[in-house]
A = this chain, B = another copy of it.
Amino acid sequence: MRGEGVAMQGKDRGRGSGSLVSRVGESLRQAILSGQYAAGDKLPSEHELTETHSVSRTVVREAVAALRSDGLVEVRQGAGIFVISPDPALSGRKVDKARVASDLEVLEIRTPVEIEAAGLAALRRSPAQEEAIFECHRKILHCIETDQSIREADLELHVAIAEATNNPLFKHFLESQGSAIIPQSRLVPETRTAEQTAYRKLIHREHEAIIVAISDRDDQAARNAMREHLVGSQARYRNLLKDLRSFTS
């Protein structure tokens, strides 16, 4: 199994193609971002990853090292690789209160970045990027109508907006933040579809305001709409926390 990474000459750049490490890393990153592994979950062992991806442990370890440095996973010798869990209820409650807010921490730093991204996107978007944003928006609507999770599509939309800034750092920033980007996804059970649908439609409307502003090249309106959306997310998340506390404690 020596010359495994031989083929692939043509610059397939764009995803994780340049090296095996990039490919495995992107694969794991997507698996985490898409919610395949929730916060606190244990990833397959290095040995298993070695087999499922048909690469050596070296490659797996380097890929994991990258995730670790991005704060996406936490590796414990002898135990395994775990998706970072800001929620103390899931990961041993040693850090009792200082870490409770970590989902909010992510939201806190995301807010200024995404507001700026929306403003810049309004000023700089190309027609293709505008179309990509609308496409994501439609996708979310489709998910709502077919009653699927909007988690992935929601993330895609935000990434699409970041991409429309034409400053690659914005996209990179979002992708580094991990599963906490769409925080509520790992808290809400899949129940209460009526309430759930209303909630999703509200998000959809907030998105719409952002997108229309970007389409109109109105950067101030885009900033305001994005601010409202994120502040709304923050409020919704705080309410969720409150509900959870009244259940558990």
Contact = CB atoms under 8 A, between A and B. Distances in A.
B112 A25 contact: no
A65 B63 CA distance: 7
B172 A71 contact: yes
Contacts of A113: 109, 112-113
Instruction: State the copy count for this chain.
Output: 2
Interface residues of A, number: 30
Interface string A16-42: 000001000100000000000000000
The DSSP consensus for interface residues of chain A is helix
A112 B114 CA distance: 9
A170 B113 CA distance: 11
A215 B105 CA distance: 23
Most chain B beta-carbon contacts within 10 A, residue among A58, A67, A106, A169: A169
Given A58-B58, A70-B70, A113-B113, A108 B167 contact: yes
A68 B172 CA distance: 13
Contacts of A62: 61-62, 65
A23 B112 CA distance: 32
Interface of A: 21, 25, 58, 61-63, 65-71, 105-106, 108-109, 111-113, 115-116, 120, 167-170, 172-173, 176
